[in-house]
Structure 1
Amino acid sequence: MSRRDQIVMTTDEVAAFLEQERVANVASMGPGGRPHLAPLWYLPEGPVLRTWTYGSSQKVKNLLRLPQATVLVEAGGSYEELRGVSMECDVEVVEDGERVAAIGADLMVRYSGNPEVAASASQFVRVQAAKRVGLVFTPTKVVSWDHRKLGGGY
């Protein structure tokens, strides 16, 4: 008997999980047809994730060629603690400097935990934004699991 239905996260649980976790593993298709995997910090907005990265990176080259990715956010150190969200996504590559800088500023707030630190780093963000692009991941399919719902059983 499959217990799959018992471990699926609700929409609210997925949103809370994405808000809590810090690193998304992003898989795009490399030029040779193999997945290219890269960890990224991200900004959750419901199921949509925003981030930025260097415009010259392999993942950006891949996403310009095929704007689709699979994104995995996971947690847990043992089987009964495993939680995760896997999303097949359409990807928007953002090249507008103002939008890229806004993503960078929002990332600074989220990962520094302090809006004042982020504000003092605004010049750094602007300089970085000139070298970067934004990435917006919009899910077309979401799969989730939370093994804690099984109460330690298998």
Structure 2
Amino acid sequence: MPKRRSLIEMTDSERDAFLASGRTLNLASLGPNGRPHLVAMWYCLLDGTIWCWTYAKSQKALNLRRDPRVTGLIEQGDRYEELRGVTIYANAAIEESPSQVALVGRTLFERYQSGTSTVSIESFLGSAPKRIAFALAVEEFVSWDHRKLEGRY
């Protein structure tokens, strides 16, 4: 009998589709006291790479400059048999070039705000000069999809 873990693991294509459809990345960096600093982030995919942006003076940015190691979680489901998610072990690569920060900001706006908000793209990007972008250089994905159990426990 196959191990339970192998029954629920997503294939690469399932994982990629899940990441593309996910909404919030719970991202943990290491704070100055060594404890996880956990925040909810909007994210986007650019050429298959996960990108976020944040204020350059934020605690998160300070943490990433000190130690780029992060762990992320994207999950969905309200009942056990619906739970699915992806844990991401990665290193954050900070990008400060204005063009890349603006590209990430524009992509985030299109993904989360466009057509659903009274916020304009100009207003949204107004904070770009105060921000950094960062890409997640993934070392490992761990995924699960309890729907594959088809109600079996």
* TM-score, normalization by structure 1: 0.91
Q: CA RMSD in A?
A: 2.0
The corresponding residue for 1:66 is 67
Query: What percent identity do the matched residue pairs reach?
Result: 43
Residue 135 (structure 2) aligns with: 136
- Cα distance 1:122–1:110, how it changes in 2: closer, same or farther (>3 A)? same
Query: What pairs with 1:46-125 in structure 2 (closer than 5 Å)?
Result: 48-114=49-115, 121-125=120-124
Conserved in 2, the CA contact under 8 Å of 1:101 and 1:125? no
Moved >6 Å (runs of 4+): none
How far does the alpha carbon of each residue in 1:33-74 deviate from its partner, in whole angstroms, 9 at most, with x for none? Answer: 100000001002476210111111111100000111001100
| Cα distance between partner residues in 1 of 2:47 and 2:8 | 20
Q: TM-score, normalised by structure 2?
A: 0.91
Q: Please give the per-residue CA displacement for 1:9-38, whole angstroms capped at 9, x wherever unaligned.
A: 011001110111100000001111100000
Aligned residues: 152
Unaligned regions of 5+ residues in structure 2, if any? none
Amino acid in the other structure paired with 1:17: F
Corresponding position: 1:28 with 2:32: no
Give 5+ residue unaligned stretches, structure 1: none
- Separation in 2 of the partners of 1:46 and 1:121? 25
Distance 1:46-1:102 versus aligned 2 partners, 3 A rule: closer
Q: Which amino acid aligns with 2:59?
A: Q
